Amino acid sequence: MEHVVQETVAQAGAHGGNLIAVALVIAVAALAGLGFLWLRQPPLVGFILAGILLGPTGLGLIENNESVAFLGEMGVVVLLFFIGMELSIRAFVVSLRQALLVVCGQLASAALLAVLIGFFLQATPREMVILSFVIALSSTVVAMKMLDEMGMLRGDAGRIAVGVLIAQDIAVVPMLIFVSSFGGAGFDVTATAVKVIVAVGMMAGLLWYFGRFGKLRIPYAEKVEDKVELLALGALALCFSAAAISGVAGMSPAYGAFLAGICVGNSTLRSRVIPVVEPIQSVLLVIFFLSIGLLIDLGFIWNNLLAVLLTAVGVIAAKTVLNVMLLRWTGSSPQTALVAGLSMAQVGEFSFVLAAAGLSAAALGEDLYRLVIAMTAITLLVSPVWVSVMRRLEVTLSEGLQSYRNALAVAYATELREVDRGRVFLGRGIAGLRARIGAFNHARRERRRRKAEAKAEKDQNQVGETVPASKGGEADPDRGSH
């Protein structure tokens, strides 16, 4: 009996320690989010930095991040479920063709960029393939948050961005299968083709059904529409069940959750379910961003700072330019292409999954895996800067300016004026400094010249005094002889 009591006390102490760690994590995340909100920055940056601070390479308060990573994956699943609920079927169908063309262009461009990066990093062909998949994907979480904060999620830019992101999520299925095949089992073309056809067919079937028959009527909807707990439980049950079935079938769990969200969003309970699920989704997304911070290895970044920064900045710049070009070539207006292209400039959360699959299949080296994690995290951290750029350019382009150069000039007119003033001030300062340096050099040369002249005159005087004395000395002996 005494042994049982001791075990119970020990377990209680262990659980108490875990609760302290959980409470500390939540408190730090909340404070970091509030701090960045006070700085007029998106709180998600604070959540990522909180994960870095508390992670194994930070203060080390969270050593085992498997539970946190699992909750973070749940956050991504619920996010896709929520996006599916808010998706407009008609708008998505309109943008589907353009989305597929843009994704194909992104994959081709990412392959070229991965070969270039891999050449400098001396990567193997398999690592280049995985790196191209990683670069091609964008973050659904961050892109949707950015567009939602701008109020453009339901506009043209949001519609096109959602279409491209969903097409990327579909492409994750063959990517994961392809990367997993590097482990030695071989790449099964037939199985991959079947899974892709099934994934596309299920979405096409849902789009056709809801486009023709309208909303789905849920049995007993009138009896449960005011029961908040039943609505939340039923919606999450459908979300995670569809995600589990999709995962077991070899497809992305987030894709199954997205299809479930489409079903709920086109049902008679849509307006009741959305406000119930949104707070749960927000909490899980906070944990997702925390899990990103936990994965970052600060020691690796510090030891390879130049390579990490060049890779991250190069990927963001290349993806921004390529996204805008692809959207313009496929028919989008300059304003829509710029906002949608900037929203998808970062590397996506599914890149973590692909990198982990490549590492477990021994196709991705440990150093390159850490580089991928660091690059993805940095692009997510830099994304809030893009929000400011997007807001300015969106307002500027809405005034009718069709040139990106003119839009940038108008959007940043204040900064450019300050730069011009600073350049003029700096030019005047440099000119004054040059004048002072010239005057100083002239004065120094004058002093040297005067010193040289004074010295020459002094030497001449000394020579003049010496010559008569020597002549008198020669005449004295003669006088003495007389």
Is a pLDDT exceeding 80 seen at residue 72?
Answer: no
Banded pLDDT at 66 (limits 50, 70, 90): low
Q: pLDDT class for 4, splitting at 50, 70, 90?
A: very low
Q: What is the mean pLDDT of residues 35-45?
A: 74
Helix (H, G, I), strand (E, B) or coil at 136: helix
So what's the pLDDT on residue 153? 75
pLDDT of 129 > 50? The answer is: yes
Distance of alpha carbon 254 from alpha carbon 244, whole angstroms = 9
Alpha carbons 137 and 107: distance in angstroms, whole number? 9
Least confident range of 6-20, 275-289, 312-326, 413-427: 6-20
Task: Point out the least confidently predicted range of 62-66, 440-444, 447-451.
Answer: 62-66
pLDDT at 179: 80
41: Cβ contacts below 8 Å, ≥ 6 apart: 384
Domain ranges of the chain: 66-411, 413-447
The pLDDT tens digits of the residues spanning 255-287 come to 888 888 888 888 888 878 888 888 887 777 777
Residue 246 has what pLDDT? 84
Mean residue pLDDT of the chain comes to: 76
Q: What's the angle, vertex CA 163, arms to CA 162 and CA 167, rounded to 5?
A: 115
pLDDT at residue 433 is higher than 60: yes
Contact 177, 191 (CB under 8 A): yes
Whether 410 has a pLDDT exceeding 70, the answer reads: no
The yes or no reply on domain 66-411 and CATH 1.20.1530.20 is: yes
Q: What integer is the mean pLDDT of 31-43?
A: 76
Name the DSSP class of 398: T
Phi, psi for residue 216 in degrees, rounded to 5: -90, 125
Percent of the chain at pLDDT > 70 equals: 76
pLDDT tens digits along 458-481 = 777 776 665 554 444 444 544 444
DSSP assignment of 77-113 equals: HHHHHHHHHH--HHHHHHHHHHHHHHHHHHHHHHHHH
Exposed / middle / buried, residue 232 (Cβ in 10 Å: 0-12, 13-18, 19+): middle
H-run or E-run covering 353 = helix 350-360
Q: What is the pLDDT of residue 471?
A: 47
Residue 46: the pLDDT is 80
Residue given tokens 């008198």 in the structure block: 472
Instruction: Give pTM, 2 decimals.
Output: 0.67
Out of 177-191, 215-229, 306-320, 430-444, least confident range: 177-191
Sign of CA dihedral 223, 234, 172, 156: positive
Most confidently modeled of 32-41, 342-351, 377-386? 342-351
pLDDT above 50 for 347: yes
Alpha-carbon span 81 to 140, nearest angstrom: 12
d(C-alpha 280, C-alpha 75), whole Å: 9
Neighbour tally for 291: CB within 10 Å:
27
Q: Can you read off the two tokens belonging to residue 194?
A: 């079947």
Q: Which residues of 373-396 are buried (b: 16+ CB within 10 A; e: fewer)?
A: bbbbbbbbbebbebbebbbbbbeb
For residues 353 and 417, the answer to whether their CB atoms sit within 8 Å is no
